[in-house]
Structure 1
Amino acid sequence: MTAKRILVVDDEAKMRRILELSLKSMGHDVEQASDGQEALAILETGSFDLVLTDLRMPRLDGIGLLRALREADNDIPVIVMTAYGTIETAVAAMKVGAADYVIRPFEMETIEMAVTRALTMQVVQRENRFLKEEVSRGWGDFVGTSKPMQDLYDLLKQVAPTRSSIFIVGETGTGKELVARAIHVASGRSGLFVPINCAAIPAELLESELFGHVKGAFTGALRDRIGKCELASGGTLFLDEITEMPVGLQAKLLRVLQEGVIEKVGGNTATPVDLRVVAATNRDPQQSVDAGLLRRDLYFRLNVVRVDVPLLRDRHGDIPLLVDYFIHKYSIELSRTPPRMSADALAILESYAWPGNVRELENLIERAMVLCRGDLITVAHLPAGLGPAPAVPTTGAADVDAKAAPNKSDSLSLRLHVDELERHLIDEALKRAGGSKAAAARLLQISERALWYKIKRLGMAERA
């Protein structure tokens, strides 16, 4: 983390000096104030990233300082320190907008962890505000600033304004429909965005859903009906799970795309349509063509531009942003104050493989919000057994020898063997990184916070 400007507010000069030395050892720039009034004067002279304040002080106390900042629409994170560790003071501080609450006396490690957590969450909230501003400009509910997501944004900005057909490929839960909606919004087309899930509609009804039907075309056709293609004329037709569409119907769809006209089921009148088609699948498109699930000519027609949606396990750095986004989303739905997530719980989420991608994360946060009654989501609110999925290393496999598995036991416990493998890999990464946790985390392709969590869980603190 880069150096931040921190204001320490305490009426005890000795405590201010101790905190200043500790925070400077973390690489931060520190200024001091003896009470809330002096702090407000200093804050008016420049920009700060964090305020660390005592609760009980003369003239203006910590709660008063917090209120003054929030009334001035200043959202700077504030950590409150107090020797009066009652529930009432904690609740009062949090209600006014404290980022954290530390009871005195405390270990300096506690303060350092609280500072790191508050500064990290500040970055997350700032990035989330930026993304929400992007949403208001018409880019949909995208959340993520990682390299894979930046590449996706750049590609969408290029292709959205064109009339070209787009083929979206991504695992279940990655947000393929979200991408399609963003393409439509950014395209400038005045018509509707009309989605249709080809896997959710029985094959015998799908043709009518797409093209519509006339009264009496089949049993139950009691009136004329407009199909999705006609509804999407002038806009965008989104064909989700295109490989589940019957091959015979794919031929009719290809004709519509080539000729720009549709005929309703049971009718004989051609209706012109102006379609921009976006298709999607969670399968490998070429394998679907080879298996006869997708017509080759239709695939070529749809695959003018291919968009691959990043997997969540390939952008773990976006997880804090997504967690914050979903916590606030479900706080609104549940009409409650947004809770925070503990560092241990977030570290587990950052190290998990996410086979269900963003949809799985959203469901997990919704569940945690329902179970959490307080203001902190902890490991206890996460599903049992949640953790990093064991995987065989794709490189350096020869380095993982007998040291990576328990030699003195015939146990078949997967957890035991995985723990030993993790210890070995963490040891090796720390050696290669010269003891640097940040560099070791990069070698292991996990966040530094996740590495700290693993070191603590595996009992490696004395070695690290």
Structure 2
Amino acid sequence: MSPSIALPSLRILVVDDEANMRRVLEIMLSRRGHKTVSAGDGQAAFELLREGGFDLVISDLRMPVVNGIELLAKLREAGIGVPLIMITAQGSIESAVEAMRLGACDYLLRPFDVEALDLAINRVLRVQGVLDHNQYLREQDDRVWQGLVGTSPAILKLREQIQQVAPTRATVLLSGETGSGKEVVARAIHRESPRRDELFVAINCAAIPAEMLESELFGHEKGAFTGALRERIGKFELANRGTLFLDEITEMPMALQTKLLRVLQESEVERLGGNHSIKLDLRVIAATNRAPRQAVEQQKLREDLYYRLNVFSLQLPPLRDRLDDLPALVTHFVRQQVGDTAAAPELSAEALAHLRAYAWPGNVRELGNLVERALILSGGRRLQAAHFPIESAAAASSVGAEQSDIGDLDLEAAVEKLETRLIRSALNASGDNKARAAQLLRISERSIWYKIKKYGL
């Protein structure tokens, strides 16, 4: 005898007009760890299934009132997609095949043993898993397009603008707050463009020291300067025929902006220490977290470069302006962390309300970090408000009031007020779990107990 198959515990509806057969199936299934409910005919089964809560139906084919085929038809007509295994006698194979055509997942020939039952259930679970996965992917296609998550009006408008500009050669200037997804949008433009099969090269102008940025962009010849021991291909050359994404363009030194303008105008680049020009065919997408016109006025961005980059501009919405996308975004980040599994924890209604009340200064990037932390705090269980240690907008305004109440320059009193507020926030966020609150505050458990006692919390 082959080893038994390990199956998850299911809630199964057994449908048969013979009481003895129902009882045999109940015993077989309960011994495998499943929970069973019984019905004596198809109509009674249909009424139970309309209430929901079943993972599987095992139904006899021949029954009075409503038979197995008729039950299957009623389920499909009502849009009830619970999988069904049909039980049939040896002489009714054609009927079983007909049942499969109508949507039955499998059938069992009488008589059968527990291993045959296990195999049938296992086949159904595998098929249903594929169907569920495909359904999830279809839903994701609606909610996640080229990395952009959500279906709020702001995101749908952004998608439309991306689809308008992507097929063209136009230079694009992206503006938006830190963490709003500027690189995601730049990649979406690249993937939707005729250059999708070429390289997408990204460089953060704020992350590279000014003296090194020129070499990163233009490249250099061997011996061009001290330490140039070999030639280096710059990002312009690397992105040739593809897309170059210049993030935080307003942090680029003004002298280097002048050279960038020439590259864009002439479509050619010359390596540092070189004496010949290299022709380029690339698209440039630039981004800034500043208001572009204000950056020009503050002399952070050359005006002529601004006009050259601003052929097509896109303003990314902050998260606080697209709060309807929060459920989809949380699901997206959860799936990133735990994978595409049915066991991914869900977001409670209280947690969603908690997240909607927050101002999101760090936008989508901040949400991603908070979801990762929430998964650790929840231990894989349902995500509750306490797993997101953030302050609501109302709490933030009360903090400002508290700070204004400090009044004089009494440092000790100010520290006490601040520590009290932070400890209370951490205790609220952790559900009054002292150890977890200490972790959130990055202090020891001993310290938090001491301060709770000291401040009489």
For this structure pair, what is the TM-score category when the shorter chain's length is used for normalisation? 0.5 to 0.7
Preserved contact between residue 162 and residue 189 of structure 2 (Cα < 8 Å): yes
Residue 303 of structure 1 corresponds to: 310
Residue 334 of structure 2 corresponds to: 327
Deviation at 1:16, TM superposition (A): 9.9
Identity %: 48
- Show CA shifts across 1:302-332 (max 9, x none): 0000011121111111111111111111003
AA in 2 matched with 1:356:
G
Equivalent runs, 1:64-103 vs 2, <5 Å: 70-73=125-128
- Show CA shifts across 1:236-269 (max 9, x none): 1111000000001000110111111111112221
Per the alignment, in what secondary structure is the counterpart of residue 195 of structure 1? strand
In 2, the alpha carbon distance for the partners of 1:40 and 1:194 equals 58
Residue 184 of structure 1 corresponds to: 190
Equivalent runs, 1:25-424 vs 2, <5 Å: 37=59, 42=71, 44-45=73-74, 46=76, 70-73=125-128, 127-131=139-143, 134=145, 140-189=146-195, 190-332=197-339, 337-380=343-386, 382-388=387-393
AA in 1 matched with 2:190:
H
Deviation at 1:75, TM superposition (A): 8.5
Per the normalisation by structure 2, the TM-score is 0.61
In 2, the alpha carbon distance for the partners of 1:256 and 1:304 equals 16
Preserved contact between residue 240 and residue 282 of structure 2 (Cα < 8 Å): yes
Per the alignment, in what secondary structure is the counterpart of residue 223 of structure 1? coil
Deviation at 1:336, TM superposition (A): 9.5
In 2, the alpha carbon distance for the partners of 1:224 and 1:291 equals 36
> RMSD over aligned Cα, in angstroms?
4.2
Per the alignment, in what secondary structure is the counterpart of residue 347 of structure 1? helix
Gaps of 5+ in 1: 1-6, 24-29, 54-62, 78-96, 98-122, 135-139, 393-412, 416-464
Equivalent pairs, count: 323
In 1, the alpha carbon distance for the partners of 2:44 and 2:317 equals 51
Residue 438 of structure 1 corresponds to: none
Deviation at 1:65, TM superposition (A): 12
Preserved contact between residue 203 and residue 245 of structure 1 (Cα < 8 Å): yes
Deviation at 1:389, TM superposition (A): 5.1
Deviation at 1:374, TM superposition (A): 3.9
Deviation at 1:69, TM superposition (A): 6.4
- Show CA shifts across 1:161-181 (max 9, x none): 100000001111111001101
AA in 1 matched with 2:359:
A
Structure 1 residues 223 and 148: alpha-carbon distance in aligned structure 2, compared to 1, 3 A threshold: same
Per the normalisation by structure 1, the TM-score is 0.60
Preserved contact between residue 196 and residue 239 of structure 1 (Cα < 8 Å): yes
Gaps of 5+ in 2: 1-12, 14-36, 60-66, 84-117, 398-419, 423-457
Structure 1 residues 203 and 68: alpha-carbon distance in aligned structure 2, compared to 1, 3 A threshold: same
In 2, the alpha carbon distance for the partners of 1:348 and 1:157 equals 34
Structure 1 residues 234 and 146: alpha-carbon distance in aligned structure 2, compared to 1, 3 A threshold: same
Structure 1 residues 44 and 265: alpha-carbon distance in aligned structure 2, compared to 1, 3 A threshold: farther
Deviation at 1:194, TM superposition (A): 0.8
Structure 1 residues 162 and 316: alpha-carbon distance in aligned structure 2, compared to 1, 3 A threshold: same
Residue 87 of structure 1 corresponds to: none
Per the alignment, in what secondary structure is the counterpart of residue 339 of structure 2? helix
Preserved contact between residue 124 and residue 324 of structure 1 (Cα < 8 Å): no
In 1, the alpha carbon distance for the partners of 2:44 and 2:361 equals 52
